[in-house]
């Protein structure tokens, strides 16, 4: 169930065979992966990178590379009907049609005044899109809501910096992370309008909130234990001094961005090497998974699904398929 894809920097031979290595390294699995290299806007001078938008299938432990481009692509979301992915690149949100043989990206209706980052997600009823962006002279990221095609964007979290991360299963709440008074904490805000609610208060760095299937828990990553680990707390708040927060992982990795599956059976997350500062690095990382049953964690030792060159943008937001059999992620390769 464990495979490795480990491209190296400035090695032309290895770089050219990244996908071949990925497919060959699958253990105890048959991979029907293929790559579609289609024209894409040229990468910026500051970022020479190849991105592979990839689907991992839990049923047969296989990979399918949906789209490849020599530009930075980040943070896929799976549509609620399973027909497309939404991901960002160069400040633009794109739709990747799963039924299109080339999965060519189609930009959403947002105009160029919005520079979108890698925190975005589709509402449970598929009518709305929450996204984070720097726009209209803002000093840093804010949170917006728009129609599902990107039209009619409206600001809902003006504080900067603020980042969307998760929809509640009933579609009533957005979970966000925001830095205020020098501290990163988790907040929620009603989609219908109303005041924000602060959910955590620990002086550590809290990030990546995502809801459990039943909406009773919010999973996060936090460095409150000394390094980034996976935690959770009740969806209405962690309580005074965060006394209701529960630590999920306890290991020698820096663990980020936990995402429960829609059926409530799995928790997938990203693991950086110990000591990696923050999550902006792109390095050799692991995608790992824990089984869930209701509100119980069914294993203490996460299982490694994949090792590859990735990091920021790989799986920042929830990317599970609606039937919980697959999830999407992005791997990277640095180009000369």
pLDDT for res 8: 33
Each of the 336 residues of the chain gets a pLDDT tens digit; together they read 333 444 333 333 333 333 333 433 333 333 333 333 333 333 344 469 999 999 999 999 999 999 999 999 999 999 999 999 999 999 999 999 998 878 889 999 999 999 999 999 999 999 999 999 999 899 999 999 999 999 999 999 999 999 999 999 999 999 999 999 999 999 999 999 899 999 999 999 999 999 999 999 999 999 999 999 999 999 999 999 999 999 999 999 999 999 999 999 999 999 999 999 888 888 999 999 999 988 788 878 899 999 999 999 999 999 999 999 999 999 999 999
C-beta pairs of 298-306 under 8 Å, 24+ apart in sequence: 300/250, 302/249, 302/251, 302/269, 302/271, 303/1, 303/2, 304/2, 305/1, 305/2, 305/3, 305/56, 305/61, 305/268, 306/2, 306/3, 306/4, 306/5, 306/56
> What is the pLDDT at residue 195?
95
Query: Is 306 in contact with 328 (CB distance < 8 Å)?
Result: no
Q: What pLDDT is recorded for position 322? A: 97
Instruction: Report d(CA 259, CA 119) in Å as an integer.
Output: 13
Q: Is the pTM of this model over 0.95?
A: no
How many Å is the Cα radius of gyration of the chain?
19
Helix or strand run (H / E) with residue 22 = helix 18-24
């Amino acid at each position: 169930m464990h495979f490795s894809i480990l491209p190296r920097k400035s090695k032309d031979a290895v770089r050219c065979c990244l996908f071949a290595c990925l497919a060959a390294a699958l253990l105890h699995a048959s991979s029907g992966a293929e790559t579609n290299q289609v024209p894409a806007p040229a990468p910026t001078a500051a970022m020479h990178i190849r991105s592979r938008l990839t689907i991992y299938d839990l049923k047969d432990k296989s990979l399918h590379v949906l789209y490849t481009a020599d530009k930075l692509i980040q943070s896929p979301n799976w549509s609620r009907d399973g027909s497309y992915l939404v991901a960002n690149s160069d400040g633009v949100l794109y739709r990747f049609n799963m039924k299109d043989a080339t999965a060519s990206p189609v930009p959403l209706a947002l105009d160029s005044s919005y520079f979108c980052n890698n925190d975005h997600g589709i509402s449970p009823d598929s009518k709305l899109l929450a996204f984070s962006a720097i726009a209209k002279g803002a000093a840093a990221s804010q949170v917006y809501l728009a129609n599902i095609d990107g039209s009619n964007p409206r600001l809902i979290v003006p504080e900067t910096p603020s980042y969307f991360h998760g929809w509640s299963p009933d579609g009533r709440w957005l979970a966000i992370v925001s830095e205020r008074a020098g501290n990163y904490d988790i907040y929620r805000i009603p989609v219908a309008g109303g005041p924000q609610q602060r959910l955590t208060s620990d002086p550590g760095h809290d990030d990546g909130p995502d809801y459990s299937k039943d909406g009773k828990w919010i999973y996060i990553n936090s460095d409150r234990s000394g390094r980034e680990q996976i935690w959770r707390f009740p969806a209405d708040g962690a309580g005074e001094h965060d006394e209701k927060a529960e630590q999920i992982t306890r290991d020698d990795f820096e663990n980020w961005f936990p995402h429960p599956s829609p059926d409530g059976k799995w928790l997938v997350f990203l693991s950086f090497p110990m000591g990696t500062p923050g999550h902006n690095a792109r390095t050799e990382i692991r995608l790992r998974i824990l089984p869930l049953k209701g509100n119980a964690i069914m294993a203490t030792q996460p299982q490694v699904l994949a090792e590859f060159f990735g990091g920021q943008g790989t799986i920042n937001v929830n990317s599970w398929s609606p039937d919980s059999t697959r999830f999407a992620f992005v791997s990277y390769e640095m180009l000369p």
